[in-house]
Amino acid sequence: MLSAIKKEIQLRHNELEDKSLKSLYFGGGTPSVLSVDEIKSLIDEIQKYFSFDENIEITLESNPDDLNKNFLKELSQTEINRLSIGTQSFFDEDLKLMNRAHNASEAESSIKRAQDFGLENISIDLIYGSPTSNFDIWKENLNKTVELQVPHVSSYALTVEPKTALEKWIENGKVNSPEEAEQNQEFYYMKDFLKDNGFDHYEISNFGKPGFYSKHNSAYWKSEPYLGIGPSAHSYNGSLERSWNIANNPVYIKNLNQNILPKETEILSEKDRFNEMMMIGLRTIWGVDLNKINQNFSSEIIDYLNQGIKPKLESGILKIKDNYLKIPEQHWFLADGIASDLFIV
């Protein structure tokens, strides 16, 4: 797999015009199962074709149970300068429900260990609205996050995916289905609590202290170009072309051994590009740049948007500030529905 990934980097590096990287992200699965030497070898391969911006953010996604003392000690001597830790919760009942390999004690100790080795730029994932949780437990999760001095939080409502153990448990009455009203309450409490503790709420599911916004995810939300390497990875050239790699690991490796790129490509239609701008932009504090809309879309689409937003502006669920279309923060929990109302179908 590592050889195939290196081969793909060799074959595709010219797809990014800008050879100075501002972000490098090891994610999608659990790259922390690699040894530090293997991670370093991938970084070395990338540096054959790209230079690193002096303020580059290099993130490693990791499970708490992978972050042992030896691993972190070695990792702290590499270019990795940010960890995204799949904490999910600091309570064992929640973690058992989510089928996580780590326990509550490991969730906390992994963060402290990373900080002890100087890896202080940490993002953690937290899940709210779990049937094993309640409002008091959720408050404790947030209190623990602040106590640990974590500078970035990505937080998502628990969703029931089809054909999962959770779906079966709900069908059998073993656990209750997540309640939207409770998730709503916990979302708005989190928003106020984290803001009171120095976080900026810069995207619906993301909170960062000043200087600690995720550079990588911010690039997605601003429609900047990115190159995705590895099975299932997605890429975007910043304008019309999106591509994705096949998900099958053996086929991915076999193709690259034969110098065949295991990817599919699509050219985005005007409708697709418009819908994506609405979907992504309205989830952020930056909103949708109406100047870009006017520059890049036909008069028919501009007229469609102006008609669609008129009643929403009047009702207050949308606003325009400095020619950016935004959802006021008190309505962010409804953002996906508001954006989809504006989609061209």
Distance in angstroms (rounded) separating the CA atoms of residues 87 and 68: 15
3-state secondary structure of 226: strand
Residue 344 tokens read as 């061209």
Report, as ranges of residue numbers, the positions in the chain whose pLDDT lies below 70. 164-167, 169, 175, 178
- For residues 277-287, one letter each, b for 16 or more C-beta atoms within 10 angstroms of the residue's C-beta and e for the rest, the string is bbbbbbbbbbb
Number of helices and strands (H, E) in the chain?
A: 14, 13
The whole-number pLDDT of residue 166 equals 66
The pLDDT value recorded for residue 301 is 96
pLDDT of residue 144: 96
The predicted structure's pLDDT at residue 52: 97
For residue 152, give every residue at least 6 positions away whose Cβ sits within 8 Å of its Cβ, in sequence order, or none: 121, 122, 123, 124, 206, 207, 208, 209, 212, 213, 214
Rounded to whole angstroms, the Cα distance separating 325 from 31 reads 37
Residue 57, both tokens: 């953010």
DSSP assigned state of 212:
-
Q: Strand pairing of 20-26 and 51-62? A: parallel
8-state DSSP, 64:
G
Strand-pair category, 200-203 with 234-236: unpaired
